[in-house]
Each structure stands twice: as C-alpha cells, then as structure tokens.
A and B are shown apart, each in its own frame.
Chain A
Amino acid sequence: MSPVRVRISRDKVRSDFVRLVNEISGQNVLNCYQCGRCSAGCPLTFAMDILPSQVIRLVQLGLEEEALGTNTPWVCASCMTCFARCPRGVDLAKVMEALRAIKLRPGDADRIRLNQFPREALARLPQQGLVSGLRKFTG
C-alpha cells in the first residue's frame, strides 16, 4: 500500500465516531497500546489492506474515513484469536464488528444479496454459513 497522509486533530480524536465504535463494541479503543500481537496472530492478514492493529490505531485517532475505507473489517472472520492474545484485553473482533455495523446500519448498504447466489452453491452450503454470512454482510 502506498503511504497515506492523514491529518490528526483534537476534534477528530474526540469525535462521535470514536464514541460510537466504543458504544457498539463495548470496548475502549484507547486501551490498545499498539503492541501488534493481534496482527501477529491474525490468520487473515494476507488478505487485508492494513493490519488489525493499524485499524484500531486509526479508530483511536478518530480517522473515520480511513478506518472505514479499508477491506480489513470485511476480511476479519471473527475468529477471536486476537482477543485471546491481546495483553490489554481489547476484543478487536468486536471493534471490527462495530465498523461493519457503522457501514451497514444506515440501510441500503448490503454487501451481498441472496438472489445473486447460484442455486448449485446454495445446495451445498450449510445453513450455518449462509445465516452467518448474511448476518455479517447485510444490515
């Protein structure tokens, strides 16, 4: 990824965005001290634009557009490995869910649609996968 110039300000750090992420996730993102253990153990970093620990850093700084603009929350599989290893007890899987929720909740932002699924694939996919996928990718 090419370097990105970001502007940090007190207003952004204290913005509603940070409050909203904390509220939906039940976490205090400021508890993260950027050790990187979550990213070291995350099994999906190979497919992510930026690392999980970088996402939470963007959130700490109130950089809403930047945090919501990466594919990282959508690639996160909620496997909770990061939470199992975080020395600060931050549940990053919940932070990722909050970022997805912020995108999906306003409505009309579904990332997948059931009527696009090919029939043959649906015939084999377990309900558990279908229901989970729809819950994660639609509002």
Chain B
Amino acid sequence: MEIAYFPGCTLRTKAIGFDNSVRDTAKVFGYDLVEVPDWTCCGATFNLSVDNVMALAPPIRILANARKLGNEVITVCSGCYNVLKRANYTVRNDSEKLAKITDFIEMEYDGDVEVIHYLEFLRDRVGYETIKTNIKRNLEGLKVVPYYGCQLLRPYDEIQLDDPEAPTILDEVLDAMGCTVVDFPHKAECCGNFLSVCTDLTPEGRQAVGEEAATAVSECSFTILDAAARAGADLVALSCPLCLYNLDVAQDQIEKIHFGFRKMPIVYFSQLLAIALGLDTDKYALDSEHHFVDPSAVVRSVAKE
C-alpha cells in the first residue's frame, strides 16, 4: 500500500540512516512511502509569533502537495512533525489565515490532511504484534533509553501524540522490537534545541546568549546522558536529528568537564528497528561518519549473522 511521506531536508542528508531505515522498515510491513511532490523545508521550528502568517506558508504548501497523494502524510523528524502538525492545527482553527496562505501559495488546501508520526504509524497501523512477529534478530542485549525531547510532544493540545510529560509510545515501540527498555526521568527534557547553533559555533553566537550560557547545550545534554547512564543504559534511541546532534556532539566537551563520564552512542529508533527486522545493517549510516560516538560496536554485538 502506498502512503505519502515527507522526509524533510535533514533526513535526505545528515540523517540519511534515519530516512533509509524508515523507508525500508515500512516496506517490511507492506507500505511504500511515496515522497510528497515538490517538497521544501518546513521551516524547522514552528514560529511562535501569532502575527507571523508567512512562516505558515512552507508547511501548508507541503500539506497541499501531500493532498495530491491522499489525506494523510507520514513524517518522522520531530521538528518536521511539530511544524506540520502545528501549522495544520492553526489553519484548521483560523479560516482567515488559511485563506491568506492558500492565496499566497496559489494552491487549494482545507486542512484535511492528517499528519502522522512514524511512531504513531507503527503503533496504530502496523501494530506491535506485527512488529513482534517480524523480528529476525534478538536485541534483548541492548539496554536502551527512549528519549522524546520536546518537539514530538508539546504543546499537547496541538500535537496529541502522547502524554507531554510522561510519554510511553517510544518505550512501547522499542519494547515491541525486543530491546531492553530502560526507564529514566529525563525522557521529555530539552537538550537545548537550536541553542547549539549559537553556543558551539561562533564567538558572536556565544555573545548573543551571554558567556555563562555558552555551555548550555552540553550541560543539558550532560544532565540527560548522566541520568541515562545511572539508569544502566548502553545507548539512547530518539527521533530528532537535532536531539541526536546535541546529545552526540556534546560528549567530547562533557568528558573534559565531568570526570568519570561514560560516552554513549545515540541512534534513531528506526535504525534499531531495521536491525531487529534483519535488514542489512551496513545500509543505515550506523558509523563514525554520521555519529560522533561510534555506534558500530553496539550494532555488531547484536547483529552477528
């Protein structure tokens, strides 16, 4: 069965292992993900100024294009999901804004496309039982913490995927694929989001947030990773390329500041799903080129054959 899919720009490049593993695992369950025609960047972060209508144009244009393929679209980057879902919610509840945008993009759209996260799709459409019956490799040896971050969950009124403070969907999906899921208290705590663009990259950026905030992202990441390590985890599974970057890139810095810190690989949940389903592990960028903390040893430990 064919179903519309919006990968987003990061998945076609830096997070190619995320993209490939989503497409291939969907195929195992009998779904062909078809790219939305003429898609562009969604804007990456939902604009929080309610008087800014322009920022809604890219996501609504993506949804209008998705409409050509049907009335639902799957996406998997938490950023894309948040932007598309909130933009859709906004125009569904504000006909004036909707008219302005459709006028501007010269396309028709009336809010009738459902934005579905791949986790949601695995839960509601594929079903955990089907996942379990298709498992080819045993991942029991992997102690994984599910990390949700923010964009996947909040604000609840507009997203409605799961509990915004105590979510379980990723826990359940990881459990269905046979991982040993480790509960920890920082599942839904922010990793610092776009602040890494300021703090890590330029002196000018550090000045913008103030010198004392220059280590904000590595401190946030340390809090999360330290909690994961104390809970006994070997790796972190998530669904956001920016979360992955923040948690991953910060570890060199953290190691210098916090004595005894143990590095931990960060992977996308769908990469683990691909391994569990017996797919070719070389195809999903589980290497040091795409990850600062190399996940290949962990992958080898469970993907022997």
Question: Hey, which bits of chain A sit against chain B, CB under 8 A?
Answer: 23-26, 43-44, 46-49, 71, 74-75, 77-81, 83-85, 91, 93-94, 96-98, 101, 111-113, 116-118, 121-122, 124-137
- B194 partner residues in chain A, CB cutoff 8 A: 77-78, 129, 132-133, 135-136
- B155 partner residues in chain A, CB cutoff 8 A: 80, 83-84, 91
Q: Which residue of B lies closest to A101 (CB)?
A: B49
Are B150 and A24 in contact, CB atoms less than 8 angstroms apart? no
- A48 partner residues in chain B, CB cutoff 8 A: 213
Assembly CA distance A116 to B207 (angstroms): 13
- A111 partner residues in chain B, CB cutoff 8 A: 198, 204-205, 208
- B197 partner residues in chain A, CB cutoff 8 A: 112, 125, 129-130, 132-134, 137
Are A126 and B49 in contact, CB atoms less than 8 angstroms apart? no
Assembly CA distance A79 to B201 (angstroms): 21
The answer to whether residues A44 and B13 also contact, given A79-B150, A101-B49, A135-B43 and a CB cut-off of 8 A, is no
The answer to whether residues A78 and B45 also contact, given A43-B189, A125-B245, A126-B245 and a CB cut-off of 8 A, is yes
Question: Hey, which bits of chain B sit against chain A, CB under 8 A?
Answer: 8-10, 13-15, 41, 43-45, 47-51, 55, 77, 79, 150, 154-156, 164-165, 188-190, 192-198, 200-205, 208-210, 212-213, 215-216, 219-220, 223, 240-242, 244-246, 249, 292
Are B10 and A127 in contact, CB atoms less than 8 angstroms apart? yes
Taking A97-B47, A101-B49, A111-B205 as known contacts, 18 extra A-B pairs with beta carbons closer than 8 A to each other, sorted by chain A number, are A47-B213, A74-B198, A75-B209, A75-B210, A77-B150, A78-B150, A78-B194, A79-B190, A81-B154, A85-B165, A112-B204, A117-B202, A126-B244, A127-B13, A129-B44, A129-B245, A133-B194, A137-B197
- A43 partner residues in chain B, CB cutoff 8 A: 189-190, 220, 223
Q: Which residue of A lies closest to B79 (CB)?
A: A128
The answer to whether residues A116 and B202 also contact, given A43-B189, A43-B190, A84-B155 and a CB cut-off of 8 A, is yes
Q: Which residue of A lies closest to B195 (CB)?
A: A77
Assembly CA distance A133 to B9 (angstroms): 15
Q: Which residue of A lies closest to B80 (CB)?
A: A128
- B213 partner residues in chain A, CB cutoff 8 A: 44, 47-48, 71, 74-75
Are B164 and A84 in contact, CB atoms less than 8 angstroms apart? yes
Sorted nearest first, the 6 A-B pairs with minimum C-beta distance are A133-B197, A79-B190, A26-B50, A111-B208, A97-B48, A47-B213
- B249 partner residues in chain A, CB cutoff 8 A: 124
Are A83 and B8 in contact, CB atoms less than 8 angstroms apart? no
- B212 partner residues in chain A, CB cutoff 8 A: 47, 71
Are A132 and B242 in contact, CB atoms less than 8 angstroms apart? yes
Q: Which residue of B lies closest to A134 (CB)?
A: B197
- B192 partner residues in chain A, CB cutoff 8 A: 44, 77
Are A128 and B9 in contact, CB atoms less than 8 angstroms apart? yes
Residue from the list B189, B202, B208, B223 in contact with A118, Cβ < 8 A: B202
Are B45 and A118 in contact, CB atoms less than 8 angstroms apart? no
Assembly CA distance A89 to B10 (angstroms): 33
A-B contact pairs, 29 of them (CB 8 A): A23-B51, A25-B49, A44-B190, A71-B212, A71-B213, A74-B198, A77-B192, A79-B193, A84-B154, A84-B164, A91-B48, A93-B48, A98-B49, A112-B204, A112-B208, A116-B205, A118-B202, A121-B200, A124-B14, A124-B292, A125-B14, A125-B197, A127-B13, A128-B8, A128-B79, A128-B242, A129-B241, A131-B9, A136-B45
Assembly CA distance A79 to B195 (angstroms): 11
Highest count of chain B CB atoms <10 Å: which of A71, A129, A130: A129
Highest count of chain A CB atoms <10 Å: which of B50, B165, B212, B223: B50
For residue B58, give the distance in angstroms from its CB to the closest CB of chain A: 10
- A124 partner residues in chain B, CB cutoff 8 A: 14, 245, 249, 292
Q: Which residue of B lies closest to A123 (CB)?
A: B14
